[in-house]
A and B are shown apart, each in its own frame.
Chain A
Amino acid sequence: MTENEKTALILLGCPQVPVQTSMALYLVHGLKEHGIQPVIAGTTAARKLMEVADPDRYYLGEMTDLDDMIDEITGKQRDFDLCFVFIHNDSGVAYAGTMAYISKARVYALIFGEHAQDLAGEIEFPCEVVAAKAVHNPMPLKRRLDEVMQWAVSKR
């Protein structure tokens, strides 16, 4: 990574909702296309799903444990330009709120699942909300993400 290369953190919580893994891979692809280096932090299961889906690491780069990453950011050892948090439950909202507080990154709350709109109403901290009712079919969330990705990369 060059010194001036922009970075993005992708935070993956519980992978219970099917669209998370494919949308995360799609986001990694989109960021790399724009010259932004993505780093994934997630639960063990969320990371294993990513590793199995991309065995040759065509898309995936650095991946790390969720708590280890929070340690590094709160310890001021590292930070990112952008932070995308995948959210489909209250814990996801809590993690996004934590990132908005501890990181200097521009935070994007990617909200999906059956209760996406209700969860979007729970967001009471500074971030960009990208919400779509997507459970099995990623297309509603992909369309919303495509809309914001254009200006996310231009504002970085």
Chain B
Amino acid sequence: MGCLEAMKPEIILSQSSFKEAREYIKKNVREYHEVEPGYRIFDVHIIGVPPLYIGVEGEHLIFPYTKPCHGTFVVKVPGGEEIGRLRAGKK
């Protein structure tokens, strides 16, 4: 399981609210999957109030990354095996 920050994610939206991040993914990513709060992806958790979405765009994942001091970012990183796990609906 990789370290998100070491993967140098592309920042699509910065210092937003978790609701803004949710709306961005829903409106701008064609394939997205709902996950439960606390869903672990790479070395981070998806934080917020349902519904929470993770998008898939080609070989990349687009998801909200919440930092306690800086709000929620929407990030894009190569998804690797996480894409299959997400599509399979595994926790």
Contact count band on B: 20 to 34
Which of A28-36, A56-64, A69-77, A132-140 is the contact stretch?
Answer: A69-77
Could you list 17 A-B pairs, sorted by A, with CB under 8 Å?
A13-B69, A16-B69, A43-B68, A46-B68, A70-B38, A91-B66, A91-B67, A91-B69, A91-B70, A93-B49, A94-B17, A94-B66, A94-B72, A97-B48, A101-B38, A102-B36, A102-B38
Across the interface, which residues of A come within 8 angstroms of B37, CB to CB?
A: 97-98, 101-102
A13–B40 alpha-carbon span in the complex (Å): 19
In angstroms, Cα B52 to Cα A57, docked, is 39
Can you list, as one digit per residue, whether each of B21-53 has a CB less than 8 Å from chain A (1) or not (0)?
Answer: 000000000000000111010011101111000
Residues in B with CB closer than 8 Å to A43 are 68-69
Q: Is A129 an interface residue (CB 8 A)?
A: no
User: What separation, in Å, do the CA atoms of A90 and B68 have in the docked complex?
Assistant: 9
8 Å CB contacts to B: which residues of A68-121?
A: 70-71, 73-74, 89-95, 97-98, 100-102
Give B51-80 interface residues, CB cut-off 8 Å to A: 66-72
Closest beta carbon of chain A to B17's beta carbon, Å: 4
| Interface-centre pick from B38, B45, B68 (highest chain A CB count, 10 A) | B68
Residue of A with least CB distance to B43: A67
Of chain B, the residue at the smallest CB distance from A74 is B38
B residues with a Cβ closer than 8 A to A are 17-18, 36-38, 40, 43-45, 47-50, 66-72, 91
- A66 adjacent to chain B (CB < 8 Å): yes
CB neighbours of A46 from chain B (8 A): 68
Q: Which residue of B lies closest to A102 (CB)?
A: B38
Partner of A94 from B43, B44, B49, B91 at Cβ < 8 Å: B49
Interface residues on A, range: 20 to 34
Q: Which residue of B lies closest to A67 (CB)?
A: B45
> B-contacting residues of A (Cβ < 8 Å)?
13-14, 16, 43, 46, 66-67, 70-71, 73-74, 89-95, 97-98, 100-102, 124-125
**Interchain CB contact under 8 A, A95 and B50:** no
**Cβ contact within 8 Å between A70 and B45:** yes
In the complex where A90-B17, A90-B18 touch, is A101 in contact with B68 (Cβ < 8 A)? no
A16: nearest residue on chain B (CB-CB)?
A: B69
